[in-house]
Amino acid sequence: MTLIIQNGLIVDGSGKPGFYGDIVIDGDKIVDVISTASHGRDAFPTRPRTTDPQQTTIDATGCIVSPGFIDAHAHSDAYLILEPDAPSKISQGITTEINGQCGGSVAPRYGEARLSGDWSTLLGSRLTWRSLAEYRAVLEAAKPAINTIQFIGHNTLRSSVVGYDGRAATSDELKEMQRLLAESLDAGGWGLTTGLIYQPGKYSTPEEVVALAKVAAERGGFYATHMRSEGDRILEAIDEVIDLVRATGIRAEVSHLKTSGKRNWHKIDAVLEKIENAIGEGLLLGSDRYPFCAAGTDLDIVLPDWAQEGAAPAEMARLADPAARAKIVAEINASDRDWSTVMIGGTWHESTKPLSGKTVAECLLPQRTQSPQRNWGSAPDPKTLCDPLRSLWQKNNTPAISPGELVCRILELDGCKTGAFFFGMSEENLDKILSRPWIVPGSDASLRAPWGPLGADHPHPRAYGTMPEFYRRVRALGISREEAIARMTSVPARRFGIAHRGVIEKGAFADLAIWKEDEFASKATYVEPHQFSSGVKAVVVNGAVSYADGKFSADRTGRFLERSC
Ligand SMILES: [Zn+2]
């Protein structure tokens, strides 16, 4: 069957100037790209391109036609099975996601390995796999709408073999992790990711990570890292990545590059310089970033280090133990954290639901709804807090509850699965990062939908709006349309060796986004995150129209992509 995309402004992803023309697609490939300008007209011709009676035409007049966007850093492994339409992603023009990031992948899953709380809760009885090959079979049966590239998480390997103990791996355990990684790479994994601030990866030595990265390097795979520090020890953390790349020769990505915490903002120039020197030295290093200034992760990272050991079940046991809890509360309260910069995100208990979208400071003092940091959206009306929490702050008719006690109470009610947004980044630094040609967009989000099981969550707006917001911010820095689009398409495709994607040319896979530049915008906010981006008219995945005019096609044509190099 033939599909024609007609009369669009074709920006082919290469960085070359756009031109008006038509794209002819047969099966899953682009078979012709015809510039109408070269025929002596600027635009808007209408003529048949094939003799196929089943030919379908999309009129792209007034639209940019670009390669489908590549989300270089995603967490949709589990949700592609639950919501294979991938609504929040495809509606912003994404056709390929790179999943399994930050050390957490959906497979392999042995021993004590647990998926993150939301994944295992929502998957329930559908969580049937252990190996990557078994996951792939389940994924392919679900027929996702977009392509997925699967990385293997270090934390997943480590919890499969070592469990959650806070100690170094023995040499036998390291060998077993290497074996599991090799098996997973041979079954279609693209490389290794780390999340070195998380359980249990934070207990690994740099040597352990290098030993695993070597296994990936030997197989032509990649390394992506959520570094050991993005704040106080960020420079040392970047040195660890560069040392690893030197030792292994692997192609590597620093995930979601940022300088966390105001006291570290000044390090940005040194951070960029270290990476650019390494690139200049010929090391294969790149980075990605989401175009927002709040980080989104789990609320339990505010617990003292010792209280996080063993992850959720052990944290819950400590919260239930009065002596341990008192120590936790005291240590949290003794920290100099600004609680107006910590917002509650996804919540799980009926009593904590009303807190989603409020800062901890607002929860403590509901009458004070506007904090100085809140220039990123309108403040929510204070809602009456649910009973278990109200009784805490209303004691003595004052904010009788401390931040530490509030956080512990929320975590306890949610089984330590609460999500949170941390407004600890600088806008100026974000622009400095986005100005670099080696920065590509990575949402750092799993796909979401405003309905169904995923609709009950309270995600970071990056889940819905990363691509338009990246485009807007990058263009506002004076970067050309063609370079901005290249960074959303061919740059990540080349970096990760995604063959015949990220470009519009004869013989490439037909992954395309058709969108109106002046309407392309992120609509999601921290307070109301379940809003689709605007401006995307249609998305083609492997030659089939998967999304058009706000509708998701039942014909889902995404693939589990194989590494070709
Ligand atoms: Zn991360």
Ligand 1 centre to CA of 24 (Å) is 39
Ligand 1 centre to CA of 416 (Å) is 18
Copy the structure tokens of residue 439: 């920065």
Query: Which of helix, strand or coil describes residue 415?
Result: coil
* Phi, psi (degrees; rounded to nearest 5) at 458: -125, 80
Ligand 1 centre to CA of 260 (Å) is 12
Ligand 1 centre to CA of 100 (Å) is 10
> Do the beta carbons of residue 502 and residue 11 sit within 8 Å?
no
To 10 degrees, the CA torsion angle through 295, 299, 302, 303?
-150
Ligand 1 centre to CA of 109 (Å) is 20
The string of pLDDT tens digits covering residues 153-171 is 999 999 999 999 899 999 9
Contact residues for 280 (Cβ-Cβ < 8 A; gap 6+): none
Ligand 1 centre to CA of 226 (Å) is 5
Q: How far apart are alpha carbons 533 and 71 in whole angstroms?
A: 15
Ligand 1 centre to CA of 296 (Å) is 9
Q: How far apart are alpha carbons 351 and 361 in whole angstroms?
A: 18
Confidence at residue 55, expressed as pLDDT on a 0 to 100 scale: 86
Ligand 1 centre to CA of 360 (Å) is 22
> Do the beta carbons of residue 9 and residue 19 sit within 8 Å?
yes
To 10 degrees, the CA torsion angle through 187, 193, 194, 198?
-80
Q: How far apart are alpha carbons 557 and 540 in whole angstroms?
A: 9
Cis bond upstream, residue 200 (ω within 30):
yes
Q: How far apart are alpha carbons 98 and 349 in whole angstroms?
A: 31
Q: What is the DSSP string of 468-486?
A: HHHHHHHHHTT--HHHHHH
Confidence at residue 424, expressed as pLDDT on a 0 to 100 scale: 77
Ligand 1 centre to CA of 446 (Å) is 12
Q: How confident is the model at residue 411 (pLDDT cuts 50, 70, 90)?
A: very high
Ligand 1 centre to CA of 444 (Å) is 7
| Residues pairing with 60 in the sheet | none
Copy the structure tokens of residue 43: 């635009």
Ligand 1 centre to CA of 506 (Å) is 36
Q: How far apart are alpha carbons 242 and 278 in whole angstroms?
A: 7
Confidence at residue 196, expressed as pLDDT on a 0 to 100 scale: 97
Ligand 1 centre to CA of 73 (Å) is 9
| Coarse DSSP helix, strand, coil percentages of the chain, rounded to the nearest 5 percent | 40, 20, 45
Ligand 1 centre to CA of 31 (Å) is 38
**Range 323-329 contact pairs with CB under 8 angstroms and sequence separation of 24 or more:** 325/408, 328/303, 328/304, 328/404, 328/408, 329/402, 329/404, 329/405, 329/408
Q: How many CB atoms lie within 10 A of CB 54?
A: 8
Mean pLDDT of the chain: 90
DSSP class of 152: E
Cis bond upstream, residue 468 (ω within 30):
no
Ligand 1 centre to CA of 101 (Å) is 7
Ligand 1 centre to CA of 524 (Å) is 21
Q: How far apart are alpha carbons 501 and 510 in whole angstroms?
A: 8
The string of pLDDT tens digits covering residues 465-493 is 999 999 999 999 999 999 999 999 999 99
The residue among 85, 116, 142 whose CA lies nearest residue 451 is 85
Instruction: Compute the average pLDDT of residues 136-141.
Output: 97
Q: How far apart are alpha carbons 62 and 472 in whole angstroms?
A: 18
Q: How far apart are alpha carbons 283 and 242 in whole angstroms?
A: 8
To 10 degrees, the CA torsion angle through 12, 16, 20, 22?
-30
Ligand 1 centre to CA of 252 (Å) is 15
Q: How many CB atoms lie within 10 A of CB 323?
A: 8
Ligand 1 centre to CA of 98 (Å) is 13
Ligand 1 centre to CA of 123 (Å) is 22
Q: How far apart are alpha carbons 407 and 352 in whole angstroms?
A: 11
Q: How far apart are alpha carbons 182 and 191 in whole angstroms?
A: 9
Res. 268: pLDDT tops 50: yes
Instruction: Using a pLDDT cut of 70, give the percent of the chain over it.
Output: 90
Ligand 1 centre to CA of 198 (Å) is 9
Ligand 1 centre to CA of 263 (Å) is 20
Res. 429: pLDDT tops 90: yes
The string of pLDDT tens digits covering residues 367-410 is 444 343 332 223 333 343 444 444 444 444 445 578 899 999 99
The string of pLDDT tens digits covering residues 186-201 is 999 999 999 999 989 9
Q: How confident is the model at residue 527 (pLDDT cuts 50, 70, 90)?
A: confident
Lowest-pLDDT range of 44-53, 97-106, 471-480: 44-53
Confidence at residue 50, expressed as pLDDT on a 0 to 100 scale: 60
The string of pLDDT tens digits covering residues 124-133 is 888 999 999 9
Query: Which of helix, strand or coil describes residue 308?
Result: helix
Ligand 1 centre to CA of 376 (Å) is 22
Instruction: Compute the average pLDDT of residues 70-77.
Output: 98
Ligand 1 centre to CA of 290 (Å) is 11
Q: How confident is the model at residue 323 (pLDDT cuts 50, 70, 90)?
A: very high
Ligand 1 centre to CA of 227 (Å) is 8
Q: How far apart are alpha carbons 311 and 300 in whole angstroms?
A: 9
Q: What is the DSSP string of 17-38?
A: PPEEEEEEEETTEEEEEEESGG
Ligand 1 centre to CA of 77 (Å) is 14
Ligand 1 centre to CA of 187 (Å) is 24
Confidence at residue 205, expressed as pLDDT on a 0 to 100 scale: 97
b/e string for 203-237 if b means 16 or more Cβ within 10 A?
Answer: bbeeebbbbbbbbbbebebbbbbbbbbbbeebeeb
More confident residue, 248 or 368: 248
| Residues pairing with 439 in the sheet | 287
The string of pLDDT tens digits covering residues 8-30 is 999 999 999 999 999 999 999 99
Q: How confident is the model at residue 88 (pLDDT cuts 50, 70, 90)?
A: very high
Confidence at residue 51, expressed as pLDDT on a 0 to 100 scale: 64
Residues with CB under 5 Å of ion ligand 1 are: 102, 226
Ligand 1 centre to CA of 304 (Å) is 19
Ligand 1 centre to CA of 72 (Å) is 12
Amino acid of residue 293: C
Q: How far apart are alpha carbons 212 and 180 in whole angstroms?
A: 10
Instruction: Compute the average pLDDT of residues 94-106.
Output: 97
Ligand 1 centre to CA of 230 (Å) is 10
Ligand 1 centre to CA of 256 (Å) is 7
Contact residues for 282 (Cβ-Cβ < 8 A; gap 6+): none
Res. 464: pLDDT tops 90: yes
Ligand 1 centre to CA of 282 (Å) is 25
Ligand 1 centre to CA of 102 (Å) is 4
Strands 285-289, 536-541: pairing is unpaired
| Residues pairing with 98 in the sheet | 149
Q: How many CB atoms lie within 10 A of CB 481?
A: 17
Ligand 1 centre to CA of 322 (Å) is 32
Instruction: Using a pLDDT cut of 90, give the percent of the chain over it.
Output: 76
